[in-house]
Amino acid sequence: MKALYLETAGGPESVAVREVETPTPKAGEVRVAIKAASLNHRELWIPRGQYPGMVLPATLGCDGAGVVDMLGDGVTGAKVGDEVVLYPGLNWGPSRRTPSKEFGLLGMPGPGTIAEYICVPVENLAPKPSFMSFEEAAAVPLTGLTSWRSLMYKGELQPGETVLIIGIGGGVATWGLAFAVAHGANVYVTGENDQVIENAIKMGAKAGLNFNEPDWRKKVMPMTGGVDVVIDGAPSPSFANYVRSINPGARIVIYGSTAGNEFKVNATDIFLRSATVLGSQVGDPQDFRDMLAFVDKHKIKTVIERTFPLAEAKEALLYLQDKHQFGKVVVTI
Ligand SMILES: NC(=O)c1ccc[n+]([C@@H]2O[C@H](COP(=O)([O-])OP(=O)(O)OC[C@H]3O[C@@H](n4cnc5c(N)ncnc54)[C@H](OP(=O)(O)O)[C@@H]3O)[C@@H](O)[C@H]2O)c1
């Protein structure tokens, strides 16, 4: 079969679409003929060698949707022909609060989704929402799940509350916007330019601030009236700009470190507001089911920026690196 393959960590330019052995499902696994996969930042970090527990060579990708085409021994609850979307994690473990030490994602160290076939435990299958194309469904898993858990499980967002979403052009952030609007929250955003803020307003945000404007911190309170939940994948430049505009009892959920790893916290900003700062990592299988049920109920559509055929998967990765602006980059197979 063909797959997006990485032999040595020589940067995103070193990936290639090539022939690899077609997998056969082990006991308890199913084989899925992938119809579409989507890209995330980790598919840029892995070729740069910036990913824990690297095992090379590798096939890349953790997001995928397709059709079950072969069952391993002992599999129940799935049949050949099922249209599915894949839970992107493996070995979450028994606790809802935190993943086990063995937790990982498809596509490192194990095989990835940007391939004609992948074998996964049957528990990783969820029905593809019927109103979605394979491309739309493939754009859901990692960013949708990360966003859902940050906003709903960790952030405990309630209808009528005010949420601030940082860096609205990103995959996690755009899902957060869609979820929060459908949940009945008042949604405000920051973005890198006026165009992404306009896009967000079209999706239901009330207003936004350009984070490249030097004084945006002064505008957060007048714009929002006070924030109950923040989801932030870039706290290094952003945290200090909104923390004085949070309401008592606010939940600030950090899910990424785009634009820098360190940020300064003023203790009084947190304890005098009884605020909570939380970290959030992907999501468990229950979050995945809850999120898909919500997506199905509200018929939430994925924002796809561009699709590429598998033969151009390397170009898709370079597009994510150099040109990506708003929504997901998808590879069709
Ligand atoms: N916790 C987890 O399990 C988990 C899972 C998936 C991803 N992540 C992390 O989450 C982050 C975003 O992932 P993604 O897939 O959504 O990425 P993405 O689609 O490429 O988006 C990049 C994000 O960074 C924002 N950004 C860049 N520079 C910024 C700045 N100076 N100030 C504020 N925001 C800035 C962008 O905002 P604009 O578009 O407005 O520029 C955008 O939201 C990454 O760090 C990724 O590693 C974490």
For the chain, the structural domain boundaries read 2-140+302-332, 144-279
pLDDT for residue 325 is more than 80: no
Ligand 1: centre distance to CA 255 (Å): 9
What's the predicted TM-score (pTM) here? 0.95
List the CATH code of the domain at 144-279. Answer: 3.40.50.720
Helix axes 235-242, 217-224, angle to 10 degrees: 60
Ligand 1: centre distance to CA 168 (Å): 8
Question: Binning pLDDT at 50, 70 and 90, where does residue 326 land?
Answer: confident
Answer whether 164 contacts ligand 1 (Cβ < 6 A).
no
Q: Is the dihedral of CA 229, 234, 235, 239 positive or negative?
A: negative
Answer whether 167 contacts ligand 1 (Cβ < 6 A).
yes
Ligand 1: centre distance to CA 80 (Å): 36
pLDDT for residue 149 is more than 90: yes
Answer whether 258 contacts ligand 1 (Cβ < 6 A).
yes
Please state, as a whole number, how many other Cβ atoms lie within 10 Å of the Cβ of residue 172: 26
What Å distances lie between residue 169 and 41, 148, 252, CA to CA? 13, 17, 19
Mean pLDDT of 172-196: 96
pLDDT for residue 95 is more than 90: yes
Alpha helices (runs of H) in 212-253, residue ranges in sequence order: 217-224, 235-242
Query: Which atom of ligand 1 lies nearest, measured to the CA of 196?
Result: 40
Ligand 1: centre distance to CA 233 (Å): 5
CATH entry, 2-140+302-332, from 3.90.660.10, 3.10.20.30, 3.90.180.10, 3.40.630.40: 3.90.180.10
User: pLDDT, tens digit, for every residue of 227-239?
Assistant: 999 999 999 999 9
Answer whether 150 contacts ligand 1 (Cβ < 6 A).
no
Q: What is the pLDDT of residue 301?
A: 87
What Å distances lie between residue 113 and 36, 37, 50, 166, 273, CA to CA? 8, 6, 20, 28, 44
Can you state the percent helix, strand and coil of the chain, rounding each to 5?
30, 30, 40
